[in-house]
């Protein structure tokens, strides 16, 4: 199978399994460094940031794994059936079963929250000293988004719509409305990082647009303070929006990932 062909595998117990689609190419050297891409809410693995990193990885001889959560892109399942628990389960299965060697985990928006949850779960499984995670790069990380960026800022009418219909369709400037379900909000409570300190055991780099209207830049500043034991650097892009997908934004992302890979 070539690197450009879509691959799939099943995640979840019988009756609850989801077909997860992914693209992957190996590192040039055995057990070489790989990039592990985790996309955002209602995004897919063929977005501009994911493709820019994939192209960079191939040029640099690094591996790259990018995939779609269930209900996203080319993967199976309905978007409205998705929860943080399910998407984290899929991410852990992808990391554990489909990658080997050291990895740089890169998470965008919701993927930033899932990236930190993945690191936490991975460390709990193997310990910091045996962790395969060499570095973490976060782009506008939407940490605790189901509470801080959804429920806590919903007005009474939105909360009533969720209670009555189980779903709220939030308009989006990026295309179709975001379907936010009551199950997503409730499930998210068990994954909230809150004000607790977070330890990754590796360097963390954060890119954040100051003009981001989805994730306030102050949230990334707060996140830095909670990564107290890690080597953390926050880059604020003064004119940057939430997507950080302009040509020079992508170049910045590639530079930061390259530095993480080479350090």
Active site residues: 109, 212, 242
3-state secondary structure of 95: helix
Q: Mutual orientation of helices 84-98 and 110-126 as an angle, nearest 10°?
A: 60
Q: What is the DSSP string of 102-137?
A: -EEEEEETHHHHHHHHHHHHHHHHH-GGG--EEEEE
In the chain, the DSSP E strands lie at 7-11, 18-25, 34-38, 63-67, 103-108, 133-139, 167-172, 175-181, 204-209, 232-237
Q: Which residues of 79-105 are buried (b: 16+ CB within 10 A; e: fewer)?
A: beebbbebbbbbbbbbbeebbeebbbb
Q: What is the DSSP string of 150-175?
A: IGGG--HHHHHHHHHHSEEEEEETTE
Q: Cα 252 from chain centroid?
A: 18
- Burial class for 36, CB neighbours closer than 10 Å (0-12, 13-18, 19+): buried
Dihedral pair phi/psi, residue 21, rounded to 5°:
-95, 145
Instruction: Please state, in angstroms and rounded to a whole number, the distance separating the CA atoms of residues 139 and 220.
Output: 9
């Amino acid at each position: 199978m070539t690197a450009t062909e879509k691959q799939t595998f099943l995640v979840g117990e019988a009756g609850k399994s989801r077909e997860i689609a992914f693209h992957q190419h190996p590192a040039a050297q055995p057990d070489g460094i790989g990039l592990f891409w985790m996309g955002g809410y209602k995004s897919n693995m063929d977005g501009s940031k994911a493709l820019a990193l994939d192209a960079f990885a191939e040029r640099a001889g690094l591996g790259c794994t990018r995939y779609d959560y269930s209900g996203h892109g080319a993967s199976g399942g309905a978007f409205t059936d998705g929860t943080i628990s399910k998407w984290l389960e899929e991410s852990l299965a992808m990391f554990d079963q489909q990658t080997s060697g050291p990895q740089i985990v890169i998470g965008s928006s919701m993927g930033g929250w899932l990236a930190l949850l993945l690191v936490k779960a991975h460390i709990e499984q193997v310990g910091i000293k045996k962790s395969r995670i060499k570095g973490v790069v976060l782009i506008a990380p939407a940490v605790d988004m189901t509470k801080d960026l959804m429920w806590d800022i919903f007005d009474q009418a939105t909360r009533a719509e969720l209670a009555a219909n189980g779903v709220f369709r939030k308009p989006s400037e990026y295309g179709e409305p975001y379907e936010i379900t009551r199950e997503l909000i409730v499930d998210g409570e068990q994954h909230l990082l809150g004000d607790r300190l977070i330890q990754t055991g590796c360097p963390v780099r954060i890119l954040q647009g100051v003009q981001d209207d989805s994730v306030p830049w102050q949230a990334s500043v707060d996140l830095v303070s909670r990564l107290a034991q890690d080597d953390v650097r926050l880059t604020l892009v003064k004119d940057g929006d939430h997507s950080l997908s302009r040509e020079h934004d992508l170049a910045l992302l590639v530079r930061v990932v390259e530095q993480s890979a080479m350090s």
